[in-house]
Amino acid sequence: MDLITWMRKNSRALRHAGSFLSYAESQESILLVGPFAAALAPFYRNLGYDGPLYSYEGGEGYERSLMVTSIECVDSICGKYSVIAAPLYIQSLSVRELTTFLFDSYDSLSDGGLLYISFPEAIAPSVGEKTLVDSFYSEGKIYMKYYSLVDVLQSTEAVGFSISAIEMDEVDFHDRLISLALKKGEKRA
């Protein structure tokens, strides 16, 4: 299943991506992380955002968005951004990778910046690192780490993020999808 087909079927998975922008103190630069963020590039442009867009680990889904809007690819999260959008990204990360991602995102956001993430909520705690499961965006299988909302909230608060918004939606590929708007406040000591 290609990205466009998946988006038509599961558009609810990104339905908070636009409203979450209002929690950022500025919208000077946006980093889109992961393959599902590809759909946000033309969406943010349609909302009137005309600042620089950057992508990290975009995958093949960015090809179509690159034709529609200007995106600069980066090799790491390091930089200075007012918004980092990483929908359906963290479930591909192990606990150690998630911790690194959260710290890198925090350090790369300007004060008052926003991290937007979404992930399928774990029905039960996931004890292993990653599990081979049916992919919700293709016919194959992928390795995923299921996180609970409590685990993610504790991790993001430990890094220094404050919670601006939490949304829960039922989606076709999973029982519940959690979307979080996480704000960077004062600098860590």
pLDDT in tens, 149-158: 888 999 999 9
User: Is 33 a residue whose pLDDT tops 80?
Assistant: yes
Output the DSSP codes for 74-129: -SSS-S-EEEEEEET-GGGS-HHHHHHHHHHHHHHEEEEEEEEEEEEBPSS---SS
The pLDDT assigned to 120 comes to: 85
The pLDDT assigned to 22 comes to: 85
Q: Which stretch of 72-81, 99-108, 116-125, 168-177 has the lowest confidence by average pLDDT?
A: 168-177
What percentage of the chain reaches a pLDDT higher than 70?
Answer: 71
Domain limits, the chain: 3-184
* Architecture category of domain 3-184 in CATH: 3-Layer(aba) Sandwich (3.40)
Mean residue pLDDT of the chain comes to 80
Query: Once rounded to an integer, what is the mean pLDDT over residues 36-60?
Result: 82
Q: What is the pLDDT of residues 52-101, one digit of tens each?
A: 999 898 765 555 555 556 788 889 998 899 999 999 899 888 888 999 99
Residue 182: burial class (beta carbons within 10 Å; 0-12, 13-18, 19+):
buried
Query: Once rounded to an integer, what is the mean pLDDT over residues 111-116?
Result: 95
At how many degrees (to 10) do helices 95-108 and 149-159 cross?
40
pLDDT band at 134 (very low <50, low <70, confident <90, very high): low
Beta bridge partners of 119: 178
